[in-house]
Amino acid sequence: MSARLRFSYADLHDTIARGAQQIIASDFHFDVILAIGGGGFIPARILRTYVEKPLIAISLARYHPDQPPSETPHKLQWVEGVNHMITGKRVLLVDEVDDERTTLAYAIEELLQEAPSEIGVFVMHNKLKPKKAEFPDSVKHVFVGKDIEDVWVDYPWDARDIRAHERDAAVGGPIEVDEQEARAQYRN
C-alpha cells in the first residue's frame, strides 16, 4: 500500500486559474508558453485560456516501462522548426509537478541554448521536499499553483477509469492504494 493524491479535473482547473492570476499580476510579460510533455500539456493548455499566448510543446522522458527513472531526461521532441518563437523571446515553461526538479532543470538548461531573452516557470504542483537542482539565476519568475506533500500523484489524464479516479479525488487528501491496483488503473 502507498499513499497517493488524486485531483479532479475541476480541482486542477481551479489550481491553474489561481496560478494564472499570479502570473497576470506579476511583472513577467512572456511571449510564448512552452509545455513539457506529457504532464505539462494539459496544464499549459488550460493556462492558455487565461493568458491567451501561443503554445508550443517539447517532450522529454525519464521513465521507461518496468525501469526506474533515469537521472537525465532525454529529448523525444524539441523546438526544431519553432526556434524563432523562443530565440530572443520571453518563455513561460510549464509542467504539472516540480518533484525532484530533474526534468525542469534539464529543460531549462537545454532551453538556454536557444537564447530566450527571459525564462519563467509555472508548475501546477510543487512537492514540498528537497530538490536535486536549483533554478539558475536566469530564471527570475517561478509560479506555483499549489504546494503539496511528497506523495505520488495520479493525474486524471493518466487514469484508465476516469469515473473511479473522480470518485477517489472527491475524498480529498491522500488515499491508500495497492500498488498492483494502481499500476492497472494508471499509466505510471
Task: Look at residue 82 and tell me if it is in a domain.
Answer: yes
> According to the model, what pLDDT value does residue 37 have?
87
- The CATH number given to whatever domain includes residue 27 is 3.40.50.2020
* pLDDT tens digits, 30-62: 999 999 988 999 999 999 999 999 999 988 876
pLDDT of residue 63: 66
- The answer as to whether 38 is a domain residue is yes
In sequence order, the 6+-apart residues with CB closer than 8 A to the CB of 36 are 57, 58, 59, 60, 93, 94, 95, 103, 104, 107
Intervals of the chain under pLDDT 50: none
Q: Which structural domain, as residue segments, surrounds residue 89? A: 8-151
Would you say residue 58 lies in a domain?
Answer: yes
Strand order in the sheet with 55-61: 74-77, 55-61, 32-37, 90-98, 118-127, 139-148
In this prediction, residue 178 carries a pLDDT of 86
Closest CA to 116 of 124, 108, 125: 108
Q: pTM for the full model?
A: 0.91
Instruction: Please report whether residue 48 resides in a domain.
Output: yes
Tell me, yes or no, whether 184 lies in a domain: no
| Contacts of 87 by beta carbon, 8 Å cutoff, 6+ apart | 114, 115, 116
Give pLDDT, residue 187.
Answer: 74
Q: Check whether the bond before 40 is cis (ω within 30° of 0).
A: no
Give the pLDDT score at 188. Answer: 61
Helices (H) and strands (E) in the chain, counts: 5, 9
Structural domains in the chain (count): 1
Residue 182 in any domain: the answer is no
State the pLDDT at residue 72.
76
Asked, for residue 158, whether it belongs to a domain, the answer is no
Confidence (pLDDT) at 83: 84
For the segment 12-23, what is each residue's pLDDT rounded down to a tens digit? 999 999 999 999
Hey, which residues are catalytic here?
Answer: 99
Is 140 part of a structural domain of the chain?
yes
